[in-house]
Structure 1
C-alpha cells in the first residue's frame, strides 16, 4: 500500500471514529433527563412539533417568564381553538400575548420568522422551546439568524423517548441519527460565521486603533 493510500485509509478511519464518537455524545446529551428550569427572557419562541412544546412555552408565559410568545411553524389548518386547548392559556392571555407563525416550514424558516418577529419587537433575549433532540440544530439556525440576540434554551423531552438505553429503541435511534446528520453542517456553518465575524471585528478594532494613533502623532 502506497503512502498516499495509507494516509487516506487512516484519515478516513479517523474521521469515521470521530463522527461516531460525536454522535454518541450528541445522543447522550439530548436524551439526558431535562433539569427543571424556569428561565427569564424578553420573549419565548416555540418551534412546533410535539404538543408538549406549546404547553411548556405557555406555562413559562403564564408565569411571567417572558412578555410575549411566538408559536412558529404552525400547521395551516390548526386554528386558534386548537391552540388554546393545547396551550391551556386563558383566552385573554392568548389574545394579548401570543403570535402565530404559519409561514415557517422547517427549522430554517423558524429562524427567519423568529428573526423578523424579534426585530419588530426589539427583543434582546429569547427563550427557545423545542424538543431536546432538536435543540442543538435549532440554536445553530437561530444563532445564524439572530447573532446579537441572547438565546436561552429550554428543551422539552418527547414523551416517546425512553428514560434510558436509547440505543435499544430503533425508532429513537433513527431519529437521533437523522438529527445529528442535519446538525453537523449547521454547526460547521455557525462556526465559520463566528470566525468571520470575529476576524472582521478584530480588523475594525485594529483600524480604529491605527486611526487613533495617527491622530495623536
Structure 2
C-alpha cells in the first residue's frame, strides 16, 4: 500500500509539474525591451529561429548575431540564401558556431562569444518549448551574461485556441523530461562541488592545527 501511495504521489507531482511547464511555455512572450541587448544568439533547430534572429539584427536589436550549433557542412552563404539575407550582413555581423552539439554546448559557446565581444546582455532566440532548458543551461555556466529569452512558437506546436497539438503535446512532454534531467544534473553538481569545498576546507584546517 505504501509503495502504491508513493508511486501515486510521484506521478501526481510529475503530472502537476508538466501542466505548469506547458502553461509557462504557452505564456511566454517576446520581451518588450529587446533593444537593450548587446548581442543576439540563435540556437539552431528550426528555420523560424534563424529568420527571427536575422530580423532582430536587421532592426538593430543587437550589435552582432551568433548562430550556435551550425552543421559543419553549412556555410554562411548557404544560410544567407536560405533566409533571403544579403551576404554582406553575414560577413559583417554574423558569427557561426560549429562546435556546440547540444544545449550545454550552446550555453558554453554563447558565453565565450559574449566575453570575446564584451557583451553583457544577450537576446536568446529559440523555440518556446526550448526556452526553460536553455535558461537552465546558461545559468549553470560560470560568468554567463544576462540572458533575455526571445521565444519563437513553431507552427505545428499550438492550435488556434492556444492548446498544444498532438505533436506539440509529445514535444512538450519530451522537453519536460529533459528539463527534469537538467535540474537533477545541476543539483547533483552543486552538491558534489559543495562537498568537495568542505573537504578541502577541512583538510586545510586540520593541517593548520598542527602548525
Normalising to structure 1: TM-score of the pair? 0.78
C-alpha deviation, 1:128, in angstroms: 0.4
Alignment check: 8 A CA contact 1:134 1:179 kept = yes
Q: Pick the aligned partner of 2:146 from 146, 150, 167.
A: 150
Question: Counterpart of 1:183 in 2: which secondary structure?
Answer: helix
Q: Contact 1:44 / 1:129 at 8 angstroms: preserved in 2?
A: yes
Count of aligned pairs between the two proteins: 191
Aligned pair 1:183/2:179, yes or no? yes
Q: What is residue 104 of structure 1 aligned with on the other side?
A: 100
Partners in 2 of 1:82 and 1:97 — Cα distance?
16
Measured in 1, the distance between the counterparts of 2:180 and 2:148 equals 21
Q: Is the 8 A contact 1:144 1:193 kept in 2?
A: no
Question: How far apart, in 2, do the equivalents of 1:34 and 1:22 lie?
Answer: 20
The answer to whether the 8 A contact 1:31-1:157 is kept is: no
**CA–CA distance in structure 2, aligned partners of residues 185 and 33 of structure 1:** 22
Instruction: Pick closer, same or farther for the CA change 1:179–1:100 going to 2, 3 Å.
Output: same
C-alpha change, 1:151 and 1:36, in structure 2 (3 Å) is closer
- In structure 2, what is the equivalent of residue 25 of structure 1? 20
Shift of the 103–143 alpha-carbon distance from structure 1 to 2, 3 Å rule, reads same
**Please, which of 61, 69, 73 is the counterpart of residue 77 of structure 1?**
73
CA distance in 2, matches of 1:77, 1:71: 14
Q: Is residue 51 from structure 1 mapped to residue 47 from structure 2 by the alignment?
A: yes
Q: Given that residues 66 and 97 in structure 2 are in contact (C-alpha distance below 8 angstroms), is that contact kept between their aligned partners in structure 1?
A: yes
Match of 1:137 among 133, 140, 150: 133
Deviations 1:155-199 (A, max 9, x none): 000111223331xx33222111111000112234446778989xx
3-state DSSP class of the match of 1:129?
Answer: strand
The verdict on how the C-alpha distance between 1:153 and 1:174 changes in structure 2, with shifts beyond 3 A counting, is: same
Map Cα deviations across residues 22-73 of structure 1 (whole Å, 9 max, x no partner): 1011112223474574513111110001101011111111111111110001
Kept in 2: contact 1:45–1:70 (CA 8 A): yes
Match of 1:11 in 2: 6
The 5 Å alignment of 1:190-201 reads 190=186
CA contact (8 A) 1:143 1:190 kept: no
Q: TM-score, normalised by structure 2?
A: 0.80
**Cα RMSD (Å):** 2.4
